[in-house]
Structure formats: structure tokens, C-alpha cells
Amino acid sequence: MTTELKPDMFAPECPTRQVPMRIGDKWTAMIVLCLEDGPRRFGELLVPLSAITKKVLAETLRAMERDGLVTRTEFPANPPHVEYALTPLGRSLLTLIDAARDWCAEHLPELTEARRAYTSSFSAASKIS
Amino acid sequence: MTTELKPDMFAPECPTRQVPMRIGDKWTAMIVLCLEDGPRRFGELLVPLSAITKKVLAETLRAMERDGLVTRTEFPANPPHVEYALTPLGRSLLTLIDAARDWCAEHLPELTEARRAYTSSFSAASKIS
DNA sequence: GGGTCTGGTTACCGCAACGAAACCGGCAGT
DNA sequence: ACTGCCGGTTTCGTTGCGGTAACCAGACCC
């Protein structure tokens, strides 16, 4: 058992504060999942992420490329197209994402029930997003 | 080995889409960590979360209470005070948060380096947050 | 020359999160 | 009566993520 040193999330200068849940932004985790089984083209990513717009997809992919999570490869063939693929770093996120999905699978009912109970007990008053 | 069914993040109506990274909001994970060793008072939480404002702390705690992650207990003693404590559900988040911190501890250098390399190679052009 | 496919970019905008600062009500101390 | 502590709430303002719609450049097809 390697006693790893956890990052100090409480230090204001710790990059953990900036980074960790970029994964938690609206689309990054889903894009990683989309790329799990191999490279995909821009247009292929648009389909499963039904609600995303081209702009946001492009932005998110750029940010992921910047952070070394995906690679962008242009094929100047005919018609020219572009492929996005996971880097090893991006792929390493899969275990984390899976852990999050497992947590959801296990505990989401409790959370939903808690939320229901809470809002029904203060039916009128509170307004928490 | 229980073959758990992962939530379908791609279904627009899946609550996974709403919930998962509420954990990833700016403060929830840190508050969970603060409460790890036992109940804390409002004022005690303000200290380690040095940058948080009372308003945001109150909002975040309310949301966490709504979701069944913490309990709020008033002590009408003298002087009156309030204690926040993790519920079992909230405590179950610790493993997930630890997984995220482990990932950061392990891969943050790569990510930082990727970011540095990216921004230095396009020193002038790109502006990604 | 006109339409279409691909992989975007640009301009604009709304909303929710986040934050700074002031205020508040009950009670204790002096 | 005045001061301060505790646990907030109120007001106002800023920032930034995400979204909508329009446009674009290259290449191919007709």
C-alpha cells in the first residue's frame, strides 16, 4: 500500500483547485467516454452528444487538447477530415469517470429521495437551484 | 464481482447529467473533507475555506443538506450555534473524492506540462481560458 | 455557377455561480 | 445602553460557461 501524498486542496495556490473538475464540466467526461473505443471524427462526436453545439464541442476539444487529454489529427485527404483520439493521460481518466458512475449507480436513488423529501417538506419556501 | 449497470450519461433525462459534478462545484468536495473528522460549526468551516464568503458557504451547505449529504443541527444553547455533519451518503463521497485526489497526485504533472507545452508553442495565437 | 458536406469561427446573449459588503436578530457581558 | 459574537440574509455587481444563429473556406458534384 503506497502511502501517497494527497494534494492539498486547501492551499489556494494548489492547481488541484483549478484542474480537478474540469473533468466535471458539462461535456469532458462524456467526450472521454465517446472516445473510449477509438478515434472519432468531429461529426461523429456531435451525434451522441445530442445537445452540444459545434461551438461548445470545438471549445471543449481545444481545452482537452491543451491539457493533453486528446490529440487532434487532420487528414488532408478527400474530403478532408479530422480525428480526435484519447491520449494515455485522457484514457487514465476513464477509471475516475467509472468511479463516479459507480457512485451514481449506487447512491443516486438516495440522493433523489433526499431531494424529493426536502423539497416536499418545504413546498413553498426554499428555492435552491 | 457484481456487474453493475452504469448510468446512461447520454440520456438527456438521466439525473447523472444534473448531479455528478455538483461534487465538482467549487466548494462541495472541500466541505466534505472538512467534515470528515466530525461535525463542524458554520464559523469553523469559514476558516479553512479561506476564500469562501458566508453567503456562498450558506448556499452550498443548503444545497448539500437538500441532497442529503449533510445534516444541520441547531443548538439553542448559549450562545446558540449550529453544527453541520456528514450523513452516510455524504461520507460515501469521500472515496470518490479520494480517487480524484489520487488521480491529480499522479497525473497533474503531465497535465501541467501539456498545458505549458501547448501555450508556449502557440505563444501569440490561442486564448483558451 | 449553385448546392452540399466537413469542420469549424464569429458575434451576441442569458443565466447561474461567485463574490464584496452591509445589515440583522438574539443573547451575553460590562 | 453599548459592544461584540454567531449565523446567517440582502443587495448589488461581476465573471464565465454554455447556447443560438449566422457565416466561412476548401473541395467535390452537377
- A15-47 per-position pLDDT tens digit: 666 555 567 788 888 899 999 999 999 999 998
B87 pLDDT tier (thresholds 50, 70, 90): very high
Nucleotide nearest to A72 in CA–C1' terms: C7
Nearest chain A Cα distance for residue B56, angstroms: 12
pLDDT tens digits for range A94-123: 998 888 888 888 888 888 888 888 877 754
- The length of chain B is 129
Each residue's pLDDT tens digit, A85-97:
999 999 999 998 8
Summarised one tens digit per residue, pLDDT across range B28-71 is 888 999 999 999 999 999 988 877 899 999 999 999 999 899 99
Domain A15-121 -> CATH class: mainly alpha
For chain A, the structural domain boundaries read 15-121
Residue B100 CB contacts under 8 Å (≥ 6 apart), including other chains? A20, A21, A23, A96, B29
Alpha-carbon span B129 to A25, nearest angstrom = 13
Do residues B84 and B42 touch, judged by C-beta distance below 8 A?
A: yes
At A101 the pLDDT is 84
Nearest Cα residue to A35 out of A25, A26, A48? A48
Residue of A5, A40, A71, A111 whose CA lies nearest to B108: A5
B21 vs chain A: nearest CA distance in angstroms? 5
Q: Is the CB of A46 under 7 A from strand D?
A: no
Nearest to A63 among B33, B108, B128 (CB): B128
Q: Is B116 on the interface with A (CB under 8 A)?
A: no
* Best CA proximity match to A109, nearest among B16, B43, B103: B16
Chain B window 95-124: residues with CB closer than 7 Å to nucleic chain C are none
